[in-house]
Amino acid sequence: MVNIIVLVKQVPDTNAKIVVSGDRVDLSAVKKVMSPYDEFAVEVALQHREATGGEVTALTLGGAGADKVLKDAKAIGVDHIVRIDSDGDHDSNSLQTAIASVLSELGAEVVYCGKSAADTGAGSTGPGLAERMGWASVSNVTAVAFDGGITVVAPSEGGDARISVPIPAVISCDKGNMKVRKPNVKGIMQAKKAKVDVKSVAIQPSSVAIVAHTMPPAKPAGKSYEGGAAAAEVARLLRDEANVI
Amino acid sequence: MTETIVIAEIAKGTIHATTSELVTAAQALGGSPIVIVPCTDASVADAAASIQGASKVIAAKSDVFNHYDAAGWASAIDAIAPAGTILTSATPQSKDLAARIAARRNISVVQDVVAIDGNQLTSPVYSGKAMQTVALDGPAVISVRANVFDAAPSGGSCDVAVVDTTGNMATAVQEFMARASQRLDVAEANIIISGGRGMGSPDNFVHLEAIADTIGAAVGASRAAVDTWEAIPHSMQVGQTGKTVNPNLYIAVGISGAIQHLAGMRSSKYIVAINKDADAPIFQHADYGIVATWEEALPVLQTTLAGMMA
């Protein structure tokens, strides 16, 4: 019976237009979804449970609005849903300290997460938690097998490596060839009724503070050409003007 | 003042050129950095001694560095790195390492930095749709995107100290599986040529491969191409749910420029777009845009590049 935790995060829909208002992004009109890579993490967590037995808990950190992604995870098949109650921004140190304390409280043995969240793109939480817990970690895995232990495939210089991972561990998931399951009607009904276990954790102050959000600098208009013959001129400019060939 | 420490980026057993960019970034934070070179053979570190601006090179010698294990590398580097702010490259592996070292020291990590102004760091967020600037209050671990900071010039000569270190490996590699193709992976390449559904068929990617082989590029693909054609593997996918790349040159062929694709490549230094649709959004991001079919443009590009390389 393995105690499996999957970390999920609510992020703006990746198709959404991001608007900066004043010096902060304005996400009020943006649809929020589970971060895409977290969907692969949920899938792998469920496969782990099916292979070895155990229970899967989806864990998020956020305000009450983030319950939506927990319910989504529940509809797909996780057993328990837990939210660390927090509004506001935290640096990686404060965030991970809070999550690590809840992982200990929940008795986590294996933690799955997406390789990075679609909002920050940082990918720091998985390996950071592993270090705080004193656990093994492998990031960006594209395949997972449960053959007594856990064996993963992750990118390595010049190809891939097949790696044995001891338990306890944190594994961050890339897409690979994974197909994620969709919720069925029964799952959706159960998710509606499911109660979120809300945890209050004192979160330490951050030493990295957000100063401002800005729009990316506009790129100056490039040179445009009509017709395939222009490729010769572009190749020359890549060498003589851009100096990249 | 606390130290700034650069962890050298190692590729194919030698110090990667981005290490010199990290030295420039470290200088922007103030002071002359110590460069730590994770290695199994200390002679690898000698090349770092000539990077101007480095105050000292530490060859961190350990069997742990034979292949990557996050726990082993973080503990072995932490054991010998002085207190201070640590800079790494923003490759997937080095970002992973940065996060573990930061957690080990109970400090924060800031990933994918593209600008440094005093204690303020800027990184892309929301897949590059916005930029976020943060202020540091105390030491941190920072990963820095490639091809953003100028490389510190060579010609310097600082001391190289060889320090034996050890770490606790947590995982075990069962086997390495080499990539079927000898071509670079998009995550490792400085030039990428990518095809989209506009290529018409996965068979036509041979034309991209021919150009890639001419100029030493990797071949990438859009999500539409990966989703449509089984022959195009996910490992080639550039963009959201694929790889984020930051090459010197990105050539997009038959790619319209969906927001998910732009997310993965918009910070490339130079972008060339070849598309038959003049209204394709990719052209708004291109330094050089060619409105043409790939059938018209690629043979000309191939011939010209081959002539330049000869």
Q: Which domains does chain A have, with CATH numbers?
A: 2-213 (3.40.50.620)
**CB–CB of B71 and A130 under 8 A?**
yes
Q: How far is B228 from chain A (nearest CA, A)?
A: 14
Q: What is the pLDDT along chain A (245 residues), one digit of tens a residue?
A: 899 999 999 999 988 889 999 999 999 999 999 999 999 999 999 999 999 999 999 999 999 999 999 999 999 999 999 999 998 899 999 999 999 999 999 999 999 999 999 999 999 999 999 999 999 999 999 999 998 889 999 999 889 999 999 999 999 999 988 889 999 999 999 999 999 999 999 999 999 999 999 999 888 889 999 999 999 999 999 999 999 99
Instruction: Please report which confidence band the pLDDT of residue B1 belongs to, taking 50, 70 and 90 as the band edges.
Output: low
The pLDDT value given to residue A123: 98
Query: Which strand ranges, in their side-by-side order, compose the sheet holding B120-125?
Result: A208-214, B130-136, B120-125, B115-117
CATH label, B3-164, candidates 3.90.550.10, 3.40.50.620, 3.40.190.10, 2.40.128.520: 3.40.50.620
The pLDDT value given to residue A182: 94
Q: B24 — phi, psi (to 5°)?
A: -60, -45
Q: Which amino acid is at B89?
A: S
**CB–CB of A121 and B111 under 8 A?**
yes
What is residue B223's three-state secondary structure?
A: helix
Q: How far is B39 from chain A (nearest CA, A)?
A: 15
82-141 in chain B: CB under 8 A from chain A: 92, 95-104, 106-112, 120, 124-138, 140
**CB–CB of A137 and B296 under 8 A?**
no
Residue range(s) of every CATH 3.40.50.620 domain in chain B: 3-164
Q: Which amino acid is at A148?
A: G
CA–CA distance, A8 with A28 (Å, rounded to integer): 20
> What is the number of other CB atoms lying within 10 angstroms of the CB of residue B310?
6
The pLDDT value given to residue B18: 95
CA–CA distance, A88 with B228 (Å, rounded to integer): 40
- CB-based contact A5:A112 (threshold 8 Å): yes
Q: What is the DSSP letter of A216?
A: P
> Left (φ > 0), alpha (ψ -120 to 50) or beta: where does A46 sit?
alpha
**CB–CB of A123 and B295 under 8 A?**
no
Q: Measured between CB atoms, does B250 come within 8 Å of chain A?
A: no
A91 - beta bridge partners? none
The pLDDT value given to residue B14: 95
**CB–CB of A237 and B288 under 8 A?**
yes
A225 - beta bridge partners? B290
CATH label, B191-309, candidates 1.10.10.10, 3.40.50.1220, 2.60.40.420, 3.50.90.10: 3.40.50.1220
Q: Which is nearest to B192 in space by CA: B163, B221, B230, B228?
A: B221
Model confidence pLDDT, tens digit, residues B278-304: 999 999 999 999 999 999 999 999 999
CA–CA distance, B126 with A11 (Å, rounded to integer): 9
Residue range(s) of every CATH 3.40.50.1220 domain in chain B: 191-309
Query: Which strand ranges, in their side-by-side order, compose the sheet holding B34-39?
Result: B108-113, B140-144, B84-89, B3-7, B34-39, B56-61, B160-164
Query: Six-digit token pair at A103?
Result: 């992982």
Q: How far is B32 from chain A (nearest CA, A)?
A: 23
